[in-house]
Amino acid sequence: MENILDIYEKDYDPDFPQVCIDERPCQLIGDVMQPIAMFPGKTAKQHYEYERHGTCCLFMAVEPLAGFRYIEVRDQRTKRDYAEFLQNLETFYSETQKITLIQDNLNTHDPSSFYKAFSAKEAHRLTQRFQMHYTPKKASWLNMAEIELSAFGKQCLNRRIADQEILTKECQALAKERNEKKVKIHWRFTKNHAREKFEKYYNN
């Protein structure tokens, strides 16, 4: 925990960007009956019955200090999906020295994923580009990507979307809007706060 909090207390450095990543499974839900749109004096109406069109996964990367986020919607969240997502993310940081990556302990979140997806040369290059840090087990709330996913949950994923292509367009549009506004995340939970809150777990 303190390792993650140490990172969050550092000032913004464009040569060593701090990037948080996470994934969220999404259900593709369609309507059985056409909803009735709202109009003056009347609220929108939606039938309780729905159709399930499978699932997909929203991959989220957010750089809290710069107000930048990058998203992809993929069929699954396998090692290959994770590796390809990070390879695509890395292109946005080609001028940096190294990317500080904060993520949870999911079994795909490992440099071995690069070797499963790419040639040894490319896998080794990517392992040198990312400095990986992990939130403690059962403490994924320390990952700021969860905050960004929560914003997407309230502004984009809070309605029925039946098609993965539409879901991708909706999420990309929201990411573009938030990037243009440079919406940042201001983290306030410091090591001192942690030591006060979890005092009984420290050996005094």
Residue 101 contacts residue 131 (beta carbons within 8 Å): yes
Distance CA 150, CA 28 (A): 18
For residues 116-155, one letter each, b for 16 or more C-beta atoms within 10 angstroms of the residue's C-beta and e for the rest, the string is ebbeeeebeebeebbeebbbeeeebebbbbbebbebbeee
Grouped pLDDT means (10 residues each) for the chain, 204 residues: 95 96 88 69 68 88 97 95 98 96 94 96 97 93 96 86 90 96 95 88 72
DSSP sequence for 46-90: --S-EEEEEEEEEEEEEETTTTEEEEEEES---HHHHHHHHHHHH
pLDDT digits (tens, 9 = 90+) for 64-114: 999 999 999 999 999 999 999 999 999 999 999 999 999 999 999 999 999
Task: Note the pTM of the prediction, 2 decimals.
Answer: 0.88
In the chain, what are the domains? 2-201 (3.30.420.10)
